[in-house]
Amino acid sequence: MDIIFLQEVKVETRLGVPEWERMRPQTIVLDIELAMPHSRSCQTDAIEDTIDYGCIVARIRETLAEESFKLVEALAEHVCQLILTEFGTPWVKVKVGKPGILPGLKQLGVIIERGKKAV
Distance in angstroms (rounded) separating the CA atoms of residues 35 and 44:
18
Please identify which of the residues 10, 93, 98, 106 carries the catalytic annotation: 98
Strands 91-99, 68-69: parallel, antiparallel or unpaired by DSSP?
unpaired
Q: For this structure, is 106 an active site residue? A: no
List, by residue number, the catalytic residues: 98
